[in-house]
């Protein structure tokens, strides 16, 4: 046990001085007295001696309560208990396609909303890992650097939308930016989860070059292609308002498979919300193979028990003064 504010223990000098003052008064002979005509009724009863012994008890209880309060103010804490946490020691960057094609509604309510919701569940399921978010379309940028702050991650994921950057699908740029967030990491395992629904059609870095960079830095890439086979409903603004038109789903599965394979990851295809959730669940299981155990002390606050003792002592003093050791007016 230790004290958070040990300097407050100097206040224990106050009850010590009060005790010395009480002893001084007792030694000085300042005892309460009462004149009676006959002392026989008092000396015949054995309770007289007991009451005399109990007379200092309320004062002792009051001093005990004061000592307990001072100890509680010093905030006693205990670090004898230890907690063990399983941690994967993995840094993960979620690289998400935010091109306008992600507004297609072959997932519910659309691709980007479904991807965000399931990504948030994935973030919440891994409290011990550092995570970051990269978004890409015609270009890419870091939405959130690596952090363990789950609240910030989730809030920034909720803000992801298709109007953040210029439209297009720069898979290479998105992957390169995600790898750049991980290249200086000292985590035993570094992972990129790249989600897209299209074909690379712009960007300064080719997907193949980005994959080579990932291999160089030991980053494993899981790729996810989002969208149903064939055609998908897509909202189009017309003179009569927003209307649904079917567009062709065109995902470069060969490229995504090559990126995943070359970096030691896997390629997945998500054709609906359930499948996408299953993919994240599968990745979650795959990336829990490297588990280390970390222990750290758990600090337990102890001031409550001292306040409880002080309260009990004060209550007992009141009971003694009211019902046992009553004073004459």
151 shares its domain with 187: yes
Mean pLDDT of 179-199: 92
What confidence score (pLDDT) does residue 92 get? 95
245 shares its domain with 307: no
Query: Residue 292: is its pLDDT beyond 50?
Result: no
Determine the Cα–Cα distance for residues 21 and 44; give it in Å rounded to an integer. Answer: 33
Mean pLDDT lowest among 25-34, 38-47, 162-171, 310-319: 38-47
Joined together, the tokens standing for residue 15 give: 């009850």
Furthest-apart CA atoms within the chain: distance in Å: 116
Mean pLDDT lowest among 7-16, 30-39, 275-284, 313-322: 30-39
217 shares its domain with 250: yes
- At residue 39 the predicted structure's pLDDT band, cuts being 50, 70 and 90, is low
What confidence score (pLDDT) does residue 277 get? 94
72 shares its domain with 127: no
76 shares its domain with 193: no
Query: Residue 296: is its pLDDT beyond 60?
Result: no
Residue 311 lies in a domain: yes
273 shares its domain with 305: no
Residue 329 lies in a domain: no
Query: Residue 164: is its pLDDT beyond 60?
Result: yes
Determine the Cα–Cα distance for residues 31 and 24; give it in Å rounded to an integer. Answer: 12
Bridge-based pairing of strands 130-136 and 189-196 is: unpaired
pTM greater than 0.85? no
Joined together, the tokens standing for residue 77 give: 């804490």
Chain-wide mean pLDDT for the chain? 85
Question: Cα angle at 128 between 127 and 134, to 5 degrees?
Answer: 75
Q: CA gyration radius for the chain?
A: 36
Top mean-pLDDT range of 40-54, 83-97, 192-206, 303-317: 192-206
34 shares its domain with 100: no
109 shares its domain with 66: no
What confidence score (pLDDT) does residue 291 get? 45
Determine the Cα–Cα distance for residues 56 and 52; give it in Å rounded to an integer. Answer: 8
Mean pLDDT of 170-188: 93
The owner of tokens 């985590």 is: 187
182 shares its domain with 320: no
Q: What CATH number should be reported for the domain holding residue 178?
A: 3.40.50.410
Three-state SS for 320? helix
DSSP labels, 162-198? TTSS-SS--HHHHHHHHHHHHTT---SEEEEEEEESS
Query: Residue 42: is its pLDDT beyond 60?
Result: no
Residue 146 lies in a domain: yes
224 shares its domain with 168: yes
Query: Residue 172: is its pLDDT beyond 70?
Result: yes
| Model confidence pLDDT, tens digit, residues 207-240 | 999 999 999 999 999 999 999 888 899 888 777 8
Mean pLDDT of 21-33: 73
Determine the Cα–Cα distance for residues 186 and 179; give it in Å rounded to an integer. Answer: 13
Mean pLDDT lowest among 156-165, 220-229, 299-308: 299-308
Residue 70 lies in a domain: yes
Domain of 132 in residue numbering reads as: 89-290
Residue 106 CA to chain centroid, in angstroms? 34
The owner of tokens 């499948």 is: 275
72 shares its domain with 120: no
24 shares its domain with 44: yes
Q: Which residue has the higher pLDDT, 50 or 66?
A: 66
How many separate domains does the chain show?
A: 2
**Percentage of the residues of the chain whose pLDDT score is greater than 70:** 84
**Percentage of the residues of the chain whose pLDDT score is greater than 90:** 54
């Amino acid at each position: 046990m230790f004290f958070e504010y040990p300097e407050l223990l100097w206040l224990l000098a106050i009850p010590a001085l009060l005790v010395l003052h009480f002893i001084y008064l007792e030694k000085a002979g300042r005892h309460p007295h009462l004149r009676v005509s006959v002392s026989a009724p008092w000396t015949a009863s054995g309770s007289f001696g007991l009451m005399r012994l109990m007379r200092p008890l309320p004062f002792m209880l009051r001093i005990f309560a004061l000592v307990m309060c001072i100890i509680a103010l010093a905030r006693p804490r205990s670090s004898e208990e230890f907690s063990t946490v399983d941690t994967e020691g993995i840094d993960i960057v979620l690289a998400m396609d935010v091109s306008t094609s992600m507004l297609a509604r072959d997932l519910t309510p659309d691709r980007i909303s479904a991807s965000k919701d399931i990504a948030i569940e994935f973030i919440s399921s891994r409290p011990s890992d550092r995570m970051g978010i990269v978004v890409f379309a015609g270009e890419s940028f870091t939405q959130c650097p690596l952090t363990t702050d789950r609240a910030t991650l989730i809030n920034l994921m909720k803000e992801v939308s298709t109007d953040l950057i210029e439209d297009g699908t720069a898979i290479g740029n998105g992957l390169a930016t995600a790898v750049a967030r991980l290249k200086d990491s000292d985590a035993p395992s570094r992972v990129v989860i790249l989600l897209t629904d299209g074909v690379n059609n712009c960007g300064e870095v080719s997907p193949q070059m980005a994959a080579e960079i990932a291999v160089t830095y030991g980053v494993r890439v899981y790729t996810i292609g989002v969208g149903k086979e064939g055609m998908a409903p897509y909202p189009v603004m017309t003179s009569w308002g927003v209307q649904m038109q079917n567009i062709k789903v065109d995902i470069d599965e060969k490229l995504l498979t090559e990126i995943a394979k070359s970096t030691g990851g896997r390629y997945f295809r998500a054709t609906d919300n359930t499948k996408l959730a299953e993919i994240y669940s599968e990745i979650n299981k795959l990336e829990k193979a490297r588990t280390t155990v970390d222990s750290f002390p758990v600090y337990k606050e102890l001031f409550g028990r001292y306040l409880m003792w002080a309260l009990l002592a004060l209550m007992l003093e009141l009971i003694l003064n009211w019902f046992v050791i009553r004073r004459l007016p």
